[in-house]
Amino acid sequence: MQEGRTVFAQVMDFVPRYEFNKCVSRYNGDKHARRLSCYTQFQILSFAQLTYRESLRDIEICLKAVGSKLYHTGIRHPVPRSTLADANETRDWRIFSDFPHVLIAQAIDLYAGESFGADLQSAAYALDSTTIDLCLSLFPWAKFRKTKAAVKLHTLLTLQGNFPTLVIITDGKVHDVNILDELIFEAGAFYIMDRGYVDFGRLYGIHLAGAFFVTRAKANFQFRRRYSAPVDKATGIRFDQTVVLTGVKSAEEYPGVIRRIGFVDPQTGKRLVFLTNNMSEPAITITQLYRYRWQVELFFKWIKQHLRIKSFYGTSANAVKTQIWTAISVYVLIAIMRKRLKLAHSPYSILQILSIVLFEKMPIAEALSCEKIGNEERDVHKQLVFKGF
């Protein structure tokens, strides 16, 4: 018999068990639990994410097929799908939403100071949302439109490492701009948003907090120019202006000055106008920052392609939120593991390798050290490769 521990057990070693138990105790998660603890539930749902299981029946069959190896992962016995379904329906989803924030705090420390490409010393965050479509007949609690249901993932992504620092799950009707009321802004940091977040009262709140925003101007933006700085048009910058708002409501909501920067993309010829309250960084740096906002879009595409957040193991709000938060935990756990093991592979490659070797008994560093993977990434798969972390 081969000695050693399974790769899955080694992955779970990166889970701070004490912190997870604190989340469980906070909501009495293990009260009346007989065969399935909250931690085992988290392990099984993490297994489902790592191996691309599509349903509870799928999970049940695969766990049974593992046989004796299952015990060595920390899961003491196969769990019937009815038991797992009940746990997903009844266990407080806040257990699984609090825990990712513990992992996020660890990831922030690991990736602190890591450069993301822009010539900037301050922290930078991209804010956006994505909609997950649901079947109205199965998820009536998430009614979005007359014949459609949906939930929204509002995500604040740190560009130092490209992992979420805050995720808020709402129904599909909540407008993106309302999420600005839920954020606590970090003084000196940059918050990059698209035009859907342009609300001058809320943007002025960011300014008063000592933070900086970068966004795009809407077509009906009303302003009066006060000053124009010299620009190098060879960089694509067309103007760099200091302006005040002249709209009746907007001038009242934002009484200060705003910087307005015009830019022409040299590749596409598209004209863009940016707004920011930062007056010191070069104009070209502001345009580069907005370009990195695309990382949050890639994050959404990546998790929808490679994690299970489009098909759900239950139909209640509790089950849906539990599954989404577990997927986010797995994503951040991979970020932590990648940094601590000093892996050069992309998240895509790590997930693909783990899905195959999860129940092999070998050192995890050895399982993830295949040198040929780097070349295969470039040549073989044509799907989106999110170069996060």
The domains of the chain, with CATH numbers, are 7-96+313-379 (no CATH), 116-297 (3.90.350.10)
| The predicted structure's pLDDT at residue 385 | 45
pLDDT in tens, 26-61: 999 888 777 889 999 999 999 999 988 889 999 889
- On the question of pLDDT at 19 being above 70, the answer is yes
Q: How confident is the model at residue 370 (pLDDT cuts 50, 70, 90)?
A: low
What average pLDDT is seen over the chain? 87
Other Cβ atoms less than 10 A from the Cβ of 302: the count is 22
- Of the candidates 195, 260, 198, the residue with the CA atom closest to the CA atom of residue 223: 260
Q: pTM for the full model? A: 0.85
Q: How confident is the model at residue 373 (pLDDT cuts 50, 70, 90)?
A: very low
pLDDT in tens, 67-82: 777 777 778 777 889 9
Decide if 157 contacts 298 (C-beta within 8 A): no
Decide if 213 contacts 273 (C-beta within 8 A): no
Take residue 30 and report the two structure tokens written for it: 């293990």
| The predicted structure's pLDDT at residue 359 | 85
Take residue 135 and report the two structure tokens written for it: 């079947």
Least confident of 43-52, 136-145, 343-352: 343-352
Which phi and psi (to 5°) does residue 6 adopt? -70, 155
Decide if 4 contacts 362 (C-beta within 8 A): yes
